[in-house]
Amino acid sequence: DAGVIQSPRHEVTEMGQEVTLRCKPISGHNSLFWYRQTMMRGLELLIYFNNNVPIDDSGMPEDRFSAKMPNASFSTLKIQPSEPRDSAVYFCASSLQGQNTEAFFGQGTRLTVV
Amino acid sequence: GIQVEQSPPDLILQEGANSTLRCNFSDSVNNLQWFHQNPWGQLINLFYIPSGTKQNGRLSATTVATERYSLLYISSSQTTDSGVYFCAVISGNTPLVFGKGTRLSVIA
């Protein structure tokens, strides 16, 4: 398996623009997680899905952030409108059979909002 | 929620030296993972170790769940071991909660 695949690897956008980050989990995994990494806050969970259903989105910072998982092999994280403070590395991860198994991370998307 | 504390925050080693990184957690866990974040930012799985001891080459890890800590041992360190080492745990129904990491620099 190719692992968790994220795109794009890097994104530079202007403040106010819409940004969409994409993730393809490992085939057969039924849990998907979005994390954000910043210097100030470290790695923090934004939202996670089990069997394509959002379970906990309490980590989503505000209404500008939204995430979807239309099928078992694809998820998106959208920021609209983007702000400079959204600049961070966004990671997607997946695991098998819920949370109590090993999670694997994608290579991340480095987002810069100018 | 569960608290995860890693120590030391920073570590500088001469190539060939050994080191021990520690992860303390504030509640019982049913999953614990160690990751290495390399200088390119990639999170690499090292160990999935909710309890017991595992070894993989120069690296080994031990988790003592009853005492709420885990240790990562790096022997004969190499410059390629540089990066940030994260401990992450699952307690109850929460997804992985990460510590702040230990930044390791191995000098030739």
Check if the beta carbon of residue B101 is closer than 8 Å to that of residue B94. no
pLDDT for res B85: 98
Q: Which chain A residues are within 8 Å of B95, Cβ to Cβ?
A: 33, 45, 48, 56, 99, 103
All residue ranges of chain B with pLDDT < 70 are: none
Q: What is the mean pLDDT of residues A14-20?
A: 98
pLDDT for res A99: 56
pLDDT for res A1: 67
pLDDT for res B32: 97
The least confident of A1-5, A14-18, A41-45, B9-13 is A1-5
pLDDT over 90 (residue A74) = yes
Which runs of consecutive H residues, i.e. helices, occur in chain A? Answer: none
The per-type count for chain B, helices as H runs and strands as E runs, is 0, 11
pLDDT for res A11: 98
Work out the mean pLDDT of chain A and round it to a whole number: 94
pLDDT over 80 (residue A79) = yes
> Which positions in chain A have a beta carbon within 8 angstroms of at least one beta carbon in chain B?
33, 42-45, 48, 56, 89, 91, 93, 99-105, 107-108, 110
Q: What is the mean pLDDT of residues A57-61?
A: 92
Closest Cα partner for A98 from A44, A55, A58? A55
**Do the Cβ atoms of A100 and B90 come within 8 Å?**
yes
pLDDT over 90 (residue A2) = no
- By C-alpha distance, the chain B residue nearest A46 is B95
Q: Which chain A residues are within 8 Å of B49, Cβ to Cβ?
A: none
Q: What is the mean pLDDT of residues A63-80?
A: 97
